[in-house]
Protein backbone atom coordinates (compact mmCIF):
# COMPACT_ATOMS: atom_id res chain seq x y z
CA UNK A 1 0.00 0.00 0.00
CA UNK A 2 1.29 3.45 -0.90
CA UNK A 3 1.94 5.77 2.09
CA UNK A 4 -0.23 8.88 2.27
CA UNK A 5 2.76 11.22 2.11
CA UNK A 6 6.50 11.19 1.50
CA UNK A 7 6.95 12.22 5.13
CA UNK A 8 5.06 9.12 6.32
CA UNK A 9 6.92 6.88 3.85
CA UNK A 10 10.28 8.18 5.12
CA UNK A 11 9.27 7.66 8.75
CA UNK A 12 8.25 4.06 8.00
CA UNK A 13 11.46 3.45 6.04
CA UNK A 14 13.56 4.87 8.90
CA UNK A 15 11.93 2.44 11.32
CA UNK A 16 12.50 -0.44 8.90
CA UNK A 17 16.18 0.44 8.42
CA UNK A 18 16.72 0.92 12.15
CA UNK A 19 15.18 -2.47 12.82
CA UNK A 20 17.61 -3.96 10.28
CA UNK A 21 20.55 -2.41 12.17
CA UNK A 22 21.39 0.37 9.69
CA UNK A 23 23.38 3.00 11.59
CA UNK A 24 22.25 6.25 9.93
CA UNK A 25 18.70 5.05 9.28
CA UNK A 26 17.02 8.48 9.05
CA UNK A 27 19.68 10.02 6.81
CA UNK A 28 19.74 6.97 4.54
CA UNK A 29 15.93 6.94 4.27
CA UNK A 30 15.96 10.59 3.17
CA UNK A 31 18.70 10.00 0.58
CA UNK A 32 16.85 7.01 -0.85
CA UNK A 33 13.62 9.01 -0.98
CA UNK A 34 15.40 11.72 -2.99
CA UNK A 35 16.67 9.00 -5.33
CA UNK A 36 13.18 7.49 -5.73
CA UNK A 37 11.66 10.91 -6.27
CA UNK A 38 14.30 11.78 -8.85
CA UNK A 39 15.00 15.23 -7.48
CA UNK A 40 17.18 16.88 -4.90
CA UNK A 41 16.96 17.76 -1.19
CA UNK A 42 14.86 20.86 -1.89
CA UNK A 43 12.50 18.82 -4.06
CA UNK A 44 12.00 16.33 -1.25
CA UNK A 45 11.32 19.05 1.31
CA UNK A 46 8.61 20.55 -0.85
CA UNK A 47 7.14 17.07 -1.54
CA UNK A 48 7.02 15.89 2.09
CA UNK A 49 3.23 16.29 2.34
CA UNK A 50 2.51 14.97 -1.15
CA UNK A 51 1.37 11.45 -1.82
CA UNK A 52 4.08 9.49 -3.72
CA UNK A 53 3.09 8.09 -7.10
CA UNK A 54 2.77 4.29 -7.10
CA UNK A 55 5.87 4.07 -9.25
CA UNK A 56 8.02 6.28 -6.96
CA UNK A 57 6.68 4.51 -3.85
CA UNK A 58 7.54 1.11 -5.36
CA UNK A 59 11.02 2.28 -6.26
CA UNK A 60 11.51 3.66 -2.74
CA UNK A 61 10.43 0.35 -1.16
CA UNK A 62 12.87 -1.58 -3.36
CA UNK A 63 15.76 0.75 -2.47
CA UNK A 64 14.99 0.50 1.25
CA UNK A 65 14.77 -3.30 1.13
CA UNK A 66 18.12 -3.49 -0.68
CA UNK A 67 19.60 -1.17 1.93
CA UNK A 68 18.50 -3.58 4.68
CA UNK A 69 20.62 -6.28 2.99
CA UNK A 70 23.75 -4.14 3.45
CA UNK A 71 24.07 -2.45 0.03
CA UNK A 72 25.59 1.02 0.69
CA UNK A 73 23.48 4.06 -0.24
CA UNK A 74 26.07 5.25 -2.78
CA UNK A 75 25.92 1.89 -4.59
CA UNK A 76 22.11 2.05 -4.64
CA UNK A 77 22.21 5.55 -6.05
CA UNK A 78 25.15 4.81 -8.39
CA UNK A 79 26.98 7.95 -7.40
CA UNK A 80 28.58 9.71 -4.47
CA UNK A 81 29.39 13.30 -3.65
CA UNK A 82 33.12 13.93 -3.18
CA UNK A 83 34.59 17.40 -2.71
CA UNK A 84 31.08 18.65 -3.59
CA UNK A 85 31.30 16.92 -6.99
CA UNK A 86 28.80 14.22 -8.01
CA UNK A 87 30.85 11.19 -9.09
CA UNK A 88 29.32 8.21 -10.86
CA UNK A 89 30.37 4.79 -9.55
CA UNK A 90 30.63 1.41 -11.21
CA UNK A 91 31.39 -2.10 -9.98
CA UNK A 92 35.08 -1.45 -10.72
CA UNK A 93 35.41 1.82 -8.78
CA UNK A 94 35.96 2.31 -5.07
CA UNK A 95 33.24 4.31 -3.37
CA UNK A 96 35.35 7.42 -2.57
CA UNK A 97 35.62 8.16 1.15
CA UNK A 98 35.45 11.54 2.92
CA UNK A 99 38.91 10.78 4.43
CA UNK A 100 40.41 11.14 0.97
CA UNK A 101 39.39 14.80 0.98
CA UNK A 102 42.31 15.26 3.43
CA UNK A 103 44.63 14.31 0.56
CA UNK A 104 42.91 16.77 -1.78
CA UNK A 105 43.30 19.54 0.81
CA UNK A 106 47.00 18.71 1.25
CA UNK A 107 47.58 18.81 -2.51
CA UNK A 108 45.85 22.18 -2.82
CA UNK A 109 48.11 23.56 -0.08
CA UNK A 110 51.30 22.62 -1.95
CA UNK A 111 49.79 23.67 -5.32
CA UNK A 112 48.46 27.06 -4.21
CA UNK A 113 48.33 29.03 -7.49
CA UNK A 114 44.87 28.92 -9.15
CA UNK A 115 46.40 30.20 -12.39
CA UNK A 116 49.31 27.75 -12.65
CA UNK A 117 49.28 25.04 -15.34
CA UNK A 118 50.20 22.28 -12.87
CA UNK A 119 50.82 18.82 -14.31
CA UNK A 120 49.39 16.05 -12.15
CA UNK A 121 49.01 12.28 -12.07
CA UNK A 122 46.55 10.31 -9.94
CA UNK A 123 47.71 6.70 -9.57
CA UNK A 124 44.80 4.28 -9.02
CA UNK A 125 42.29 6.93 -9.98
CA UNK A 126 39.12 4.84 -9.45
CA UNK A 127 36.17 7.16 -10.07
CA UNK A 128 38.67 9.98 -10.76
CA UNK A 129 37.85 11.49 -7.35
CA UNK A 130 41.25 12.98 -6.48
CA UNK A 131 42.19 14.22 -9.94
CA UNK A 132 38.78 15.70 -10.71
CA UNK A 133 38.59 17.47 -7.34
CA UNK A 134 42.00 19.06 -8.01
CA UNK A 135 41.17 20.05 -11.59
CA UNK A 136 37.94 21.64 -10.35
CA UNK A 137 39.99 23.85 -8.01
CA UNK A 138 42.92 24.60 -10.34
CA UNK A 139 41.35 25.69 -13.64
CA UNK A 140 44.60 25.69 -15.64
CA UNK A 141 45.96 22.39 -14.31
CA UNK A 142 46.12 19.24 -16.42
CA UNK A 143 46.23 15.66 -15.22
CA UNK A 144 46.36 11.99 -15.99
CA UNK A 145 44.38 9.38 -14.05
CA UNK A 146 45.79 5.85 -14.21
CA UNK A 147 44.17 2.63 -13.12
CA UNK A 148 44.73 -1.06 -13.66
CA UNK A 149 40.95 -1.58 -13.85
CA UNK A 150 39.65 -0.63 -17.30
CA UNK A 151 36.13 -0.15 -15.92
CA UNK A 152 37.48 2.41 -13.45
CA UNK A 153 39.30 4.38 -16.16
CA UNK A 154 36.12 4.40 -18.27
CA UNK A 155 33.98 5.58 -15.34
CA UNK A 156 36.53 8.27 -14.42
CA UNK A 157 36.46 9.57 -17.99
CA UNK A 158 32.65 9.62 -17.93
CA UNK A 159 32.77 11.60 -14.69
CA UNK A 160 35.28 14.05 -16.20
CA UNK A 161 32.98 14.62 -19.20
CA UNK A 162 29.91 15.16 -16.98
CA UNK A 163 31.83 17.66 -14.87
CA UNK A 164 33.16 19.57 -17.87
CA UNK A 165 36.77 18.68 -16.99
CA UNK A 166 37.54 16.21 -19.79
CA UNK A 167 39.59 18.67 -21.84
CA UNK A 168 42.17 18.76 -19.04
CA UNK A 169 42.04 15.13 -17.93
CA UNK A 170 43.37 11.98 -19.59
CA UNK A 171 42.65 8.45 -18.35
CA UNK A 172 44.87 5.47 -18.99
CA UNK A 173 44.79 1.79 -18.08
CA UNK A 174 48.08 0.56 -16.64
CA UNK A 175 50.19 -0.52 -13.69
CA UNK A 176 51.01 2.47 -11.46
CA UNK A 177 53.46 4.80 -13.28
CA UNK A 178 54.09 2.50 -16.25
CA UNK A 179 51.77 4.43 -18.52
CA UNK A 180 53.33 7.80 -17.73
CA UNK A 181 55.47 9.27 -20.47
CA UNK A 182 59.16 8.74 -19.80
CA UNK A 183 59.87 12.44 -20.18
CA UNK A 184 57.11 13.38 -17.73
CA UNK A 185 58.20 15.94 -15.14
CA UNK A 186 55.13 16.31 -12.99
CA UNK A 187 54.36 18.89 -10.32
CA UNK A 188 52.57 16.32 -8.19
CA UNK A 189 51.73 12.62 -8.11
CA UNK A 190 48.75 11.74 -5.94
CA UNK A 191 47.59 8.31 -4.91
CA UNK A 192 45.15 6.55 -2.65
CA UNK A 193 46.35 3.02 -3.40
CA UNK A 194 44.95 -0.24 -2.01
CA UNK A 195 46.39 -0.65 1.49
CA UNK A 196 44.48 -3.34 3.36
CA UNK A 197 46.70 -6.34 4.25
CA UNK A 198 45.40 -9.33 2.25
CA UNK A 199 44.89 -11.47 5.35
CA UNK A 200 42.49 -8.98 6.92
CA UNK A 201 40.21 -8.44 3.90
CA UNK A 202 37.69 -11.06 5.03
CA UNK A 203 37.29 -9.26 8.36
CA UNK A 204 36.24 -5.95 6.76
CA UNK A 205 32.72 -4.63 7.27
CA UNK A 206 30.40 -6.33 4.73
CA UNK A 207 29.50 -2.95 3.19
CA UNK A 208 33.17 -2.59 2.17
CA UNK A 209 34.14 -6.23 1.63
CA UNK A 210 31.13 -7.11 -0.51
CA UNK A 211 30.75 -3.89 -2.50
CA UNK A 212 34.16 -2.28 -3.11
CA UNK A 213 36.32 -4.02 -5.72
CA UNK A 214 39.03 -6.31 -4.33
CA UNK A 215 41.63 -4.62 -6.58
CA UNK A 216 40.89 -1.32 -4.83
CA UNK A 217 41.41 -2.79 -1.35
CA UNK A 218 44.08 -5.49 -1.42
CA UNK A 219 47.46 -4.05 -0.46
CA UNK A 220 49.33 -7.37 -0.46
CA UNK A 221 50.66 -9.31 2.51
CA UNK A 222 51.60 -6.30 4.68
CA UNK A 223 49.37 -3.72 2.96
CA UNK A 224 52.40 -1.85 1.58
CA UNK A 225 52.88 -3.47 -1.85
CA UNK A 226 51.53 -0.47 -3.79
CA UNK A 227 53.68 2.02 -1.84
CA UNK A 228 56.80 -0.01 -2.68
CA UNK A 229 55.90 0.00 -6.37
CA UNK A 230 55.10 3.71 -6.32
CA UNK A 231 58.27 4.63 -4.37
CA UNK A 232 60.35 2.69 -6.89
CA UNK A 233 59.04 4.49 -9.96
CA UNK A 234 57.21 7.72 -9.13
CA UNK A 235 60.08 10.01 -7.99
CA UNK A 236 61.73 9.93 -11.41
CA UNK A 237 58.50 11.28 -12.94
CA UNK A 238 58.50 14.35 -10.66
CA UNK A 239 60.20 17.63 -11.39
CA UNK A 240 62.69 18.72 -8.71
CA UNK A 241 60.53 20.29 -6.00
CA UNK A 242 57.55 18.17 -7.09
CA UNK A 243 55.29 16.32 -4.67
CA UNK A 244 54.30 12.73 -3.99
CA UNK A 245 51.20 12.74 -1.78
CA UNK A 246 49.54 9.52 -0.74
CA UNK A 247 46.77 8.34 1.52
CA UNK A 248 47.79 5.62 4.00
CA UNK A 249 45.93 3.10 6.12
CA UNK A 250 45.80 3.04 9.88
CA UNK A 251 49.31 2.70 11.37
CA UNK A 252 51.10 2.82 7.99
CA UNK A 253 52.40 6.42 7.95
CA UNK A 254 55.77 5.59 9.48
CA UNK A 255 56.52 2.66 7.16
CA UNK A 256 55.40 4.58 4.07
CA UNK A 257 57.49 7.61 5.08
CA UNK A 258 60.51 5.30 5.42
CA UNK A 259 59.91 3.86 1.94
CA UNK A 260 59.69 7.33 0.42
CA UNK A 261 62.83 8.49 2.26
CA UNK A 262 64.71 5.48 0.92
CA UNK A 263 63.55 6.56 -2.55
CA UNK A 264 65.28 9.93 -2.03
CA UNK A 265 62.25 12.03 -1.12
CA UNK A 266 61.95 14.36 1.85
CA UNK A 267 58.91 13.86 4.11
CA UNK A 268 57.34 17.29 4.52
CA UNK A 269 54.24 16.38 6.51
CA UNK A 270 52.04 13.60 7.82
CA UNK A 271 48.44 14.81 8.11
CA UNK A 272 45.61 13.44 10.18
CA UNK A 273 42.06 12.86 8.97
CA UNK A 274 38.91 14.10 10.70
CA UNK A 275 39.12 11.20 13.17
CA UNK A 276 42.66 12.26 14.15
CA UNK A 277 44.37 9.27 12.46
CA UNK A 278 47.51 9.77 10.37
CA UNK A 279 46.08 9.57 6.88
CA UNK A 280 48.24 11.42 4.35
CA UNK A 281 52.01 11.43 3.74
CA UNK A 282 53.38 14.43 1.81
CA UNK A 283 56.84 13.90 0.32
CA UNK A 284 58.86 16.25 -1.86
CA UNK A 285 61.59 15.67 -4.39
CA UNK A 286 64.40 17.92 -3.36
CA UNK A 287 65.52 20.70 -5.66
CA UNK A 288 68.84 19.81 -7.24
CA UNK A 289 67.92 16.13 -7.36
CA UNK A 290 66.83 14.82 -10.71
CA UNK A 291 67.27 11.11 -11.14
CA UNK A 292 67.48 9.84 -14.67
CA UNK A 293 64.86 7.60 -16.22
CA UNK A 294 64.91 3.93 -15.35
Ligand X SMILES: C[S@@+](CC[C@H](N)C(=O)[O-])C[C@H]1O[C@@H](n2cnc3c(N)ncnc32)[C@H](O)[C@@H]1O
Name the site residues for ligand X (rule: CB under 6 A).
94, 96, 100, 124-127, 129-130, 146-149, 152, 175-176, 192-194, 215-216
Q: Tell me if residue 214 falls in helix, strand or coil.
A: helix
Q: Residues 227, 246: contact at Cβ < 8 Å?
A: yes
Query: Minimal distance in Å, beta carbon 234 to ligand X?
Result: 12
Query: Minimal distance in Å, beta carbon 217 to ligand X?
Result: 7
Chain centroid offset of residue 59 CA: 27
Q: What are 85's strand-pairing partners? A: 82
Using CA atoms, how far apart are residues 199 and 196, in angstroms rounded to an integer? 8
Query: Minimal distance in Å, beta carbon 253 to ligand X?
Result: 16
Using CA atoms, how far apart are residues 225 and 251, in angstroms rounded to an integer? 15
Q: Tell me if residue 247 falls in helix, strand or coil.
A: strand
Using CA atoms, how far apart are residues 55 and 294, in angstroms rounded to an integer? 59
Query: Minimal distance in Å, beta carbon 80 to ligand X?
Result: 9
Contacts of 99 (CB under 8 A, 6+ apart): 247, 273, 274, 275, 279
Query: Minimal distance in Å, beta carbon 46 to ligand X?
Result: 33
Closest CB to ligand X among 118 and 176?
176
φ, ψ of residue 194 to 5 degrees: the values are -65, 135
**Strand order across the 186-191 sheet:** 169-173, 142-147, 119-123, 186-191, 238-247, 278-285, 265-272
Torsion of CA 188, 260, 181, 241, to 10 degrees: 40
Using CA atoms, how far apart are residues 82 and 72, in angstroms rounded to an integer? 15
Write b or e for each residue in 15-33: b if 16 or more Cβ atoms lie within 10 A of its Cβ, otherwise e.
ebbeeeebeebeebbbbbb
Query: Minimal distance in Å, beta carbon 74 to ligand X?
Result: 11
Amino acid sequence: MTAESWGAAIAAATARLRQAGVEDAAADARLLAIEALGGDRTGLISALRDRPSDRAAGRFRTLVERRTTGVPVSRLRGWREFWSLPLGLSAETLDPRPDTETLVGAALTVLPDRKAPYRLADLGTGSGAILLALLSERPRAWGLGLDLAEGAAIQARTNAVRLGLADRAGFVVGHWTEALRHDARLDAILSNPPYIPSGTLEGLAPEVRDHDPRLALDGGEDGLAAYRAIAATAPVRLRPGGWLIVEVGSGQARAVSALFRQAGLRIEAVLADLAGLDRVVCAQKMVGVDATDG
